[in-house]
């Protein structure tokens, strides 16, 4: 996993440690409850990516392995100024735009994620 030292170009993607990870879905999905500190979904954190500090951003790189689902990563809780260790994934059916149902087994699905951390 590449890691880049701090440089005079602070704020640029290339200056931040980042990593890719393939994450399997949960065996029993819990739908997301929105709010300042959302709950449900699938929890991930900096250790998912092998990064030593919190995460500033997480995004999916394409759809799930079968093409059925896409995910949205949500900071939990939201923090505009500080990297957060806990994020949750909301799994959405691509063809309908509806969130995966409660209790759905997504363990056969894999999603590739890209995350970046603080300097």
pLDDT at residue 23 in the model: 97
pLDDT at residue 114 in the model: 93
Question: Each residue of 44-94: pLDDT tens digit?
Answer: 999 999 888 788 889 999 999 999 999 999 988 877 767 788 899 999 999
Sheet-wide strand order for 87-93: 42-44, 87-93, 69-75
Give the residue, 82 or 4, on which the prediction is more confident: 82
Within-domain flag for 112: yes
Q: Give the residue numbers spanning the domain of 80.
A: 20-116
pLDDT at residue 20 in the model: 92
Question: Each residue of 11-51: pLDDT tens digit?
Answer: 556 667 888 999 999 999 999 999 878 999 999 999 999 88
**DSSP H or E stretch at residue 62:** none
Contact status, residue 112 vs residue 41, Cβ threshold 8 Å: no
pLDDT at residue 91 in the model: 98
Within-domain flag for 107: yes
Within-domain flag for 36: yes
Within-domain flag for 58: yes
Q: How far is 1 from 20, CA to CA, in rounded Å?
A: 8
> In sequence order, what are the residues at sequence separation of 6 or more whose Cβ sits closer than 8 angstroms to the Cβ of residue 114?
18, 19, 20, 58, 59, 60, 61
Q: How many domains would you assign to the chain?
A: 1
Q: How far is 21 from 117, CA to CA, in rounded Å?
A: 14
Within-domain flag for 83: yes
Within-domain flag for 11: no
Within-domain flag for 4: no
Within-domain flag for 34: yes
Name the residue among 72, 53, 77 with its Cα closest to residue 113.
Answer: 72
């Amino acid at each position: 996993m590449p890691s880049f030292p701090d440089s005079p170009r602070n704020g640029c993607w290339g200056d931040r440690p980042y990593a890719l990870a393939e994450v399997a879905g949960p065996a029993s999905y819990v739908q997301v409850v929105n709010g300042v500190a959302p709950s449900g979904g699938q929890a991930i954190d900096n250790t998912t990516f092998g990064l030593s500090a919190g995460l500033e951003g997480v995004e999916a790189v394409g759809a799930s392995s079968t093409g059925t689902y896409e995910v949205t990563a949500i900071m939990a809780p939201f923090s505009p100024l500080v990297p957060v260790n806990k994020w949750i994934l909301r799994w959405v059916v691509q063809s309908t735009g509806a969130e995966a149902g409660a209790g759905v087994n997504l363990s056969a699905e894999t999603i590739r994620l890209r995350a970046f951390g603080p300097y």
